[in-house]
Amino acid sequence: FMATWAWQVIALFCLGLTTAFAMVPVVPLMINLLNEKAQTTGRPSVDEDQVLSFTWMAFTLGELGGPLVGSYLAEVCGFARSAYLVGSFILVTVAITCVLLGCSGQCSCCGRREAALLDQPLLGEPDDDITPRRHGTDMPSALAITRAVSGSFSRVRTASRELA
């Protein structure tokens, strides 16, 4: 039991770590890439909240669909064969993505690194004016949500005291 428990904890820790390693550099670079594309096509800049929402949606769908597809493949093909198939699919997808990005000129990192260094950090500076359209839930919205939730909890507590 201990080995199974320890391996599960290690696997979940590694999953969380790799998700963070994938998310932190991807989001600012994706925003820069989309803003470059928007600028060259004459479209407005992308909204950071939309990029973050789409990125989290993609990760969540992967975490949701992965076990479903994996368990189906393990049942149909066996575990060893399904692991080989999924690993091969990932390698082919990475190769195709690298070729497509390379052909479109997206694999040159030097200009992107300089742009990323000049860009603002993802959360901005502490003295920035935070508006509701930036960085998810801003402080006034968070306070309103907290007050609404605590108000509903206090009504439940009051009702339960009246019943008792």
Q: What local confidence, expressed as pLDDT, does residue 74 receive?
A: 92
Q: Are the CB atoms for 30 and 55 separated by under 8 Å? A: yes
Q: What local confidence, expressed as pLDDT, does residue 2 receive?
A: 57
The percent of the chain in helix, strand and coil, each rounded to the nearest 5, is 80, 0, 20
pLDDT category, 144, cuts 50, 70, 90?
low
DSSP string of 45-59, one letter each residue: PPPHHHHHHHHHHHH
Q: Is the pLDDT of residue 130 over 80?
A: no
pLDDT digits (tens, 9 = 90+) for 2-51: 568 888 888 888 888 887 777 777 777 778 888 888 888 888 888 888 88
CA–CA distance, 92 with 26 (Å, rounded to integer) = 20
- Angle ∠(69,73,75) on CA atoms, nearest 5: 120
pLDDT category, 76, cuts 50, 70, 90?
very high
CA–CA distance, 124 with 126 (Å, rounded to integer) = 7
Q: Which residues contact 37 (CB under 8 A, 6 or more apart)?
A: 43
